[in-house]
């Protein structure tokens, strides 16, 4: 047990101390995480998952930009919504009356 801790400690210490560079606490923590992932053979899985998350972020980014722009222009307008079922051919049905009641709840904020 003690030899494993010593080896892990030396790997991290060599990365941090013997290169003539200074490290921030966050940077050292991230480097330790990379070393841990590599030692556990989880690094390639993490990179693949991170790449998939980045791809999803690229897909969602245009929508986020649009919502932010609309929020800056008119903060109340982007929250307003129209519920077609309240006025359509099914407006007399029981489930529509429930929707109507829900849509007219008093503002909490």
Confidence of residue 92 (pLDDT cuts 50, 70, 90): confident
44-66: pLDDT as tens digits:
888 888 888 877 777 888 888 88
DSSP of 49-60, one letter per residue? HHHHHHHHHHHH
Helix, strand, coil percentages (3-state) for the chain, rounded to 5, are: 70, 0, 30
Neighbours of 51 (CB within 10 A): 9
> Whole-model pTM?
0.38
């Amino acid at each position: 047990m003690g030899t494993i801790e010593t080896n892990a400690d030396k790997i991290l210490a060599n990365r941090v101390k013997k290169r003539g560079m200074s490290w921030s606490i966050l940077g050292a923590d991230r480097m330790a995480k990379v070393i841990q992932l590599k030692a556990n053979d989880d690094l390639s899985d993490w990179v693949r998952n991170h790449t998939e998350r980045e791809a999803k972020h690229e897909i969602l980014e245009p929508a986020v930009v649009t919502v932010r722009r609309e929020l800056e222009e008119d903060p109340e307008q982007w929250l307003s919504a129209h519920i077609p079922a309240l006025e359509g051919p099914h407006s007399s049905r029981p489930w529509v009356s429930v929707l109507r009641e829900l849509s007219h709840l008093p503002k909490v904020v």
